Structure 1
Amino acid sequence: MDEVRRECATLIPQDINYATIEGLSFECKEKFEIWRPQNLAAASRIPGVTPQALCSLLRYLKAPTQSLANSIGESAKL
């Protein structure tokens, strides 16, 4: 959980598919889809979101394949 606190400013892509994130309960996936938080700090303030869900989300965002996908998406915008 300390890592989540340190990374609270980590941005969450608007086009993220929460259904593909392992470790998230159906309830958390549903809440993230509805609320569409901009960063981990906003995600942590959603009622019912667990510390485990935040860790799973951070792990997904920091995964090398996710970073590659984000950089490809950013390149396409240029």
Structure 2
Amino acid sequence: MAAFSVLGFSFVVTLVIAFVIQKTIGFRLSAEKEAAGIDVVEHAEVAYDLEGSLHAPGTGPTPEAVIAAAERLTAKAAP
């Protein structure tokens, strides 16, 4: 019985935490940020620069998207 109580409690607390995260910062990035490259948008750097070997043609972040994301980050950071 105690194991099921702990299981139920953990489930409810996890749901509450997930709800709070979803309503505050959210779990997903916008489609624009995903297309620009999550590492570039979130951290202003590329995690694994393997010279595009992991991207199929046309699926990697375009230079224009990277530049636009960097400009937005720079504008946000400016005082």
Q: TM-score range by the shorter chain?
A: 0.3 to 0.5
**TM norm structure 1:** 0.33
More relative contact order, 1 or 2 (CA 8 Å, 6+ apart): 1
**TM norm structure 2:** 0.33
Q: Is the radius of gyration larger for structure 1 or structure 2? A: 2
